[in-house]
Amino acid sequence: MIAGSTHPGEEKILADVFLELRKRFPALKMIVAPRHIERSGRLLKDLSTGSCRIVLASRKPVPGSFDVLVLDQLGILKELYQIADLVFMGGSLVPHGGQNPVEAARFARAVMHGPHVFNFNMIYRELGQGGGAFLVREPGDLKAMSEKFLSDPALRREAGVKANQIVNRLKGASKCQAEWVVMFLASRMASERKKTDGKSQELFSAGGRGEMP
């Protein structure tokens, strides 16, 4: 389970849900990636419990030596999505506005998210309508959705494929739109240049005759 780009107020909720899920899925691990890595050390203290082994990624723990891994390094989260069975995108259980789900979707991973995604409304709407993203309004929803995916790998994979297809389609649409804008601007520039060149020719001709237009 990966909790990506989390914000204050979300990690405790995620940790509680994780501990509940472990009762049924004891092999489950969680990677927490705070949006601001300077919070990592504090999270290590806040999330530590007697029943959960929590370590920082920079300490390079060996597999099996932890239950929760807290990322405190930049540039590695997007590559970790490909190993996730579950993805929760942070900034969405609190009124921050959500975080970009595209990296997870590119690795064919469905995304769970809270209700506050106003910074990325369009992509979450497309993913939600297409079956690639799932709204969880409260901890109970997150637990239920997670149990559903963990219990049904085929369903999880199907949702991930849909997420991937949707972001690829949107990428293609954006590329076509960008190409149209470039062509439009090029056409306008050519037209303006022609007008300018024509005006310059008039001025040149008039100047040669000692006249001003």
Helix 153-208 to helix 139-151 angle (10° resolution) is 110
Does 2-167 carry CATH code 3.40.50.2000?
yes
Helix 11-24 to helix 139-151 angle (10° resolution) is 40
Predicted model pTM: 0.81
Residue by residue, pLDDT tens for the chain (213 residues) are 999 999 999 999 999 999 999 999 999 999 999 999 999 999 999 988 778 899 999 999 988 899 999 999 998 999 999 999 999 999 999 999 999 999 999 999 999 999 999 999 999 999 999 999 999 999 999 999 999 999 999 999 999 999 999 999 998 544 444 444 445 465 556 666 655 565 545 544 555 554 444
| SS3 state at 52 | strand
- Secondary structure percentages of the chain, helix, strand, coil, to 5: 55, 15, 30
**Sequence ranges of the domains in the chain:** 2-167
Residue 38 CA to residue 73 CA, distance in Å, equals 9
Beta bridge partners of 120: none
